A = this chain, B = another copy of it.
Amino acid sequence: MVKITVYVISCFLFTVLSYAKPFQNTSCYVDPYIGSDNGGNVFVGPCVPFGMVKLGPDIREFHEGEGYHHSNSGYSVAGDLLYGFSHVHVSGTGGGGKYGNILMAPFTGDFNTKDYGSSRSDEVAQVGYYAVTSSKYKVRSELTATHSVGFHQYTFPASDKSGIFIDAGHFIVQGVSYGEAQQLVGSEIRIISPTEIEGYSRVRWGWNAGAAYTVYFHAVFDTPAVSFSTWKKDIIHTGSSEEFDSGEKTGALFYYKTTDKQAVKVKVGISFVSSAKAKNNIQKELASWDFQQARQATVDTWNGYLSRINVESKDENLKKLFYTGIYHSLLMPTNRTGENPLWKSDAPYYDDFYAIWDTYRTLHPLLTLVWEKRQVDIVNSLVDIYKFDKYMPDARSGNDNGRTQGSSNCDILIADAFVKGLTGIDYETAFKAMIKNAEVSPGDNERKEGRIGIRDYNTIGYVSTNHERSASCTIEHGNCDWAIAQVAQGLGKITDFEKYKNRAGNWQNLWNAEKSHKGFNGFIWPKSFDGKWATDLEVTTFGSWEGYYYESNPWEYSLSVPQDVKKLIEKCGGKDKFIARLDTTFKSINENVWGSGLYNVSNEPGFMSPMLYIWAGQPYKTASLVRRIIELNYNTGKGGIPGNDDSGAMSSWLAFQLMGIYPNAGQNVYLITSPHFSKTTIKMDNNQLFEITAKNQSAKNIYIQSALLNGKPLEQAWFKHTDIKEGGKLELVMGTKPSKWGTSNPPPSISE
């Protein structure tokens, strides 16, 4: 495999040269396999950042209770049969599958539309490139992609019966057992010539219970087919050139006579608008038939993004972890500007927010820090969705809002942008969108958009147990209210500021001081509409979609008040008691099992928990703890992410932690944890640099002894985004032992 060798060498050279020449190619540190196993569900195929086309293999795997299905990303390490390559995927998601549209599969010999899966060998996944050999058909498939076009190169053996199978009705099948499976609405195929096929796939439901979406394609082949057929509902119609949509699966077969190692190339333009638009996307993005050139262009695009951050370390694995984390953070949401079939607008259009509940904490703050204009575009797309589609989404996929996880966390993205001074956003309209979330019940659409139980919350001060996820929603509504309050204050809306600042304390209405566990008193606890505490759960009862707490338990959620940790410490009985509670939380960290214990590394409610020591004056405990969490849960193996990557949420958490800072999303605040790199240099969108240096940093020297921010002493373990956004330097001196540094002047809380 000559090509692979070239890449390996270039990566090696880069390693050698990287200290000398920062901001060079860094994509060779990305391993798309990291997080592809162990339920990480990351997408392994080629794509560009935020790419509409995510071209990847769809592989059958066994799911308990559902038989053989796909994973959420289409890919599966252990899956036995490869079915082909489809063009639209999501990354790192859980729940019911979504997309998996427009599948192509090369074959040789007789083809059975019902049983065509093959085992696979010689698989390669790199940035902008995926290759695999199908054992059954002896065809080598290589894939790359532009933003809207999938580029396939199939190398056949000598055969009179070579062919390419197109399934216009294909989609990821997952989530059958819990009612979230996608449903076919219809599909269509039209063979225009021996080198052109068009069609579409129309599918509804899936994870977000969304309305029907349509993925159109236009495919061009570099080699004319010798003959062709269409098929509908598994019946092949030889010589037919069209299958109109009658609500069934349709497809086509292109037949070739191939000599040994003959390559057939296919460009598949994708559009959510029309096949003609898909055709135009090919013309615009991928004029040439040079596969290597296209692959290199995609790699170049990634390098352009990834090399905006330069990290210095002798540990190559750490760089691999870091850049792969960054890579995963740039896969979603999907940029579908120009591809919105629902309304016409000058605003950007992004889809596949999956969900903002997952990504608001770390992924979007990462974009804001490094790729600010991208975050501005994303925020503008959210506001545009409000303008034309009633509510900003918490989650959205297939052009439809849903499913809301905890609150209207897009409010936090607005506040985050506002307090960090992002320009180019209509904050007055964004504010209206926030107020809509906070005031207008979505009624029957509580799972789709708006805030769950908002009528309860606005009348009795908490979401009652009449609603699902009542306790966690109450907590999260409060943080969103604080987001609104901050924007209100900035826009001079003082009455609104006071109102939502007060509401931000509503979590206290669910503070059950009587509840006690392991010697600690006081937990946020579900309460009925008429004020009775729920009795059918324990402090460690892990909550579900229909339970009291979403993806965590009362213990963890009772620490999840990032807007007012000061008040939380009071409620918990003061600093010492609070620290003891944190110590208990993390005591058995290396015994963690997903869904049990006091700290769940794999879900977002615990993202901030390790940093709470900073408010309590013990930042050194955060430093050692975070390093221990990474050590235990993240690695460069295929199962190297603890559970679903959650659209890059886990990966961006990791990326921040490796750099040694952590955002309190929605606030103008970075907490300082413990850098893994001796130096991190970020080239921001304004071309200014933000440097983090960690003098003496090593596996043992993990504790900060002193700090300078922009050349001035920094005694506290946090700083503001606005301190560094015009360029900045954070200079840390590390040591082996905890120091007094950062133990006073805790990060902001509402009740100061």
A interface with B by C-beta (< 8 Å)? 183-186, 188, 190, 200, 202, 204, 211-212, 214, 242-247, 273-274, 276-277, 279-280, 338, 341-344, 390-391, 436, 440-446, 450, 455
Across the two chains, which residue of chain B brings its CB closest to A211?
Answer: B342
Bound-complex Cα distance A440 to B344 (A): 32
Are B450 and A186 in contact, CB atoms less than 8 angstroms apart? no
Q: How far is the CB of A311 from chain B (nearest CB, A)?
A: 42
Most interface-central of A280, A338, A343 (chain B CB within 10 A): A343
Bound-complex Cα distance A244 to B283 (A): 12
Across the two chains, which residue of chain B brings its CB closest to A209?
Answer: B390
Q: How far is the CB of A238 from chain B (nearest CB, A)?
A: 19
Bound-complex Cα distance A590 to B639 (A): 83
Bound-complex Cα distance A155 to B344 (A): 38
Are B441 and A245 in contact, CB atoms less than 8 angstroms apart? no
Across the two chains, which residue of chain B brings its CB closest to A184?
Answer: B344
Q: How far is the CB of A471 from chain B (nearest CB, A)?
A: 21
Q: How far is the CB of A418 from chain B (nearest CB, A)?
A: 24
Nearest 9 CB-CB pairings of A with B: A443-B443, A244-B276, A441-B443, A247-B344, A442-B443, A244-B280, A212-B342, A244-B277, A245-B274
Q: How far is the CB of A586 from chain B (nearest CB, A)?
A: 41
Bound-complex Cα distance A441 to B455 (A): 11
Most interface-central of A204, A211, A450 (chain B CB within 10 A): A211
Q: How far is the CB of A113 from chain B (nearest CB, A)?
A: 19
Q: List 24 A-B contacts (CB under 8 A).
A: A183-B343, A184-B344, A185-B344, A186-B341, A188-B276, A188-B277, A200-B274, A202-B341, A204-B342, A211-B342, A214-B341, A244-B274, A244-B279, A246-B277, A246-B338, A247-B344, A391-B444, A436-B444, A440-B443, A441-B441, A442-B444, A442-B445, A443-B446, A445-B445
Q: How far is the CB of A545 from chain B (nearest CB, A)?
A: 18
Bound-complex Cα distance A709 to B204 (A): 53
Q: How far is the CB of A546 from chain B (nearest CB, A)?
A: 16
8 additional A-B residue pairs with CB within 8 Å, beyond A202-B341, A441-B441, A442-B444? A200-B274, A214-B341, A244-B280, A245-B274, A245-B276, A440-B444, A443-B446, A444-B445
Bound-complex Cα distance A406 to B244 (A): 40
Residues of chain B contacted by A245 (CB below 8 angstroms): 273-274, 276-277
Bound-complex Cα distance A246 to B441 (A): 35
Pick from B214, B246, B273, B455: contact of A186, CB under 8 Å: B273
Bound-complex Cα distance A274 to B216 (A): 11
Q: How far is the CB of A607 from chain B (nearest CB, A)?
A: 30
Q: How far is the CB of A246 from chain B (nearest CB, A)?
A: 8
Residues of chain B contacted by A204 (CB below 8 angstroms): 342-343
Residues of chain B contacted by A274 (CB below 8 angstroms): 186, 188, 200, 244-245
Q: How far is the CB of A191 from chain B (nearest CB, A)?
A: 12
Are B277 and A390 in contact, CB atoms less than 8 angstroms apart? no
Residues of chain B contacted by A436 (CB below 8 angstroms): 444
Knowing A186-B344, A344-B183, A450-B444 touch, does A242 contact B276 (C-beta < 8 A)? yes
Q: How far is the CB of A585 from chain B (nearest CB, A)?
A: 37
Residues of chain B contacted by A444 (CB below 8 angstroms): 390-391, 436, 440-443, 445, 450
Q: How far is the CB of A6 from chain B (nearest CB, A)?
A: 37
Residues of chain B contacted by A455 (CB below 8 angstroms): 455
Residues of chain B contacted by A441 (CB below 8 angstroms): 441, 443-444
Bound-complex Cα distance A434 to B211 (A): 22
Across the two chains, which residue of chain B brings its CB closest to A247?
Answer: B344
Q: How far is the CB of A111 from chain B (nearest CB, A)?
A: 24
Knowing A188-B274, A245-B276, A444-B441 touch, does A343 contact B390 (C-beta < 8 A)? no
Q: How far is the CB of A22 from chain B (nearest CB, A)?
A: 41
Q: How far is the CB of A230 from chain B (nearest CB, A)?
A: 11
Residues of chain B contacted by A244 (CB below 8 angstroms): 274, 276-277, 279-280
Q: How far is the CB of A669 from chain B (nearest CB, A)?
A: 33
Residues of chain B contacted by A342 (CB below 8 angstroms): 185, 204, 211-212
Bound-complex Cα distance A243 to B443 (A): 42
Residues of chain B contacted by A391 (CB below 8 angstroms): 444
Q: How far is the CB of A581 from chain B (nearest CB, A)?
A: 38
Q: How far is the CB of A260 from chain B (nearest CB, A)?
A: 38
Most interface-central of A202, A212, A244, A455 (chain B CB within 10 A): A244
Residues of chain B contacted by A185 (CB below 8 angstroms): 341-344
Most interface-central of A214, A338, A444, A455 (chain B CB within 10 A): A444
Most interface-central of A184, A274, A442 (chain B CB within 10 A): A274
Residues of chain B contacted by A280 (CB below 8 angstroms): 244
Residues of chain B contacted by A212 (CB below 8 angstroms): 341-343
Residues of chain B contacted by A242 (CB below 8 angstroms): 276
Q: How far is the CB of A618 from chain B (nearest CB, A)?
A: 45
Bound-complex Cα distance A183 to B276 (A): 21
Across the two chains, which residue of chain B brings its CB closest to A187?
Answer: B274
Q: How far is the CB of A278 from chain B (nearest CB, A)?
A: 9
Bound-complex Cα distance A436 to B280 (A): 45
Residues of chain B contacted by A343 (CB below 8 angstroms): 183, 185, 204, 212
Residues of chain B contacted by A338 (CB below 8 angstroms): 246
Most interface-central of A214, A344, A441 (chain B CB within 10 A): A344
Q: How far is the CB of A521 from chain B (nearest CB, A)?
A: 37
Q: How far is the CB of A190 from chain B (nearest CB, A)?
A: 6
Q: How far is the CB of A3 from chain B (nearest CB, A)?
A: 34
Residues of chain B contacted by A450 (CB below 8 angstroms): 443-444
Q: How far is the CB of A453 from chain B (nearest CB, A)?
A: 11
Bound-complex Cα distance A246 to B244 (A): 24
Residues of chain B contacted by A279 (CB below 8 angstroms): 244
Residues of chain B contacted by A246 (CB below 8 angstroms): 277, 338
Residues of chain B contacted by A445 (CB below 8 angstroms): 442-445
Q: How far is the CB of A436 from chain B (nearest CB, A)?
A: 8
Residues of chain B contacted by A214 (CB below 8 angstroms): 341
Bound-complex Cα distance A212 to B443 (A): 22
Q: How far is the CB of A467 from chain B (nearest CB, A)?
A: 12
Q: How far is the CB of A454 from chain B (nearest CB, A)?
A: 9
Bound-complex Cα distance A273 to B444 (A): 28
Bound-complex Cα distance A442 to B185 (A): 26
Bound-complex Cα distance A247 to B344 (A): 6
Residues of chain B contacted by A183 (CB below 8 angstroms): 343-344
Most interface-central of A186, A190, A455 (chain B CB within 10 A): A186
Q: How far is the CB of A403 from chain B (nearest CB, A)?
A: 14
Bound-complex Cα distance A322 to B284 (A): 60
Across the two chains, which residue of chain B brings its CB closest to A346?
Answer: B247
Bound-complex Cα distance A184 to B341 (A): 11
Residues of chain B contacted by A200 (CB below 8 angstroms): 274
Are B344 and A190 in contact, CB atoms less than 8 angstroms apart? no
Bound-complex Cα distance A97 to B338 (A): 27
Bound-complex Cα distance A261 to B75 (A): 65
Across the two chains, which residue of chain B brings its CB closest to A214?
Answer: B341
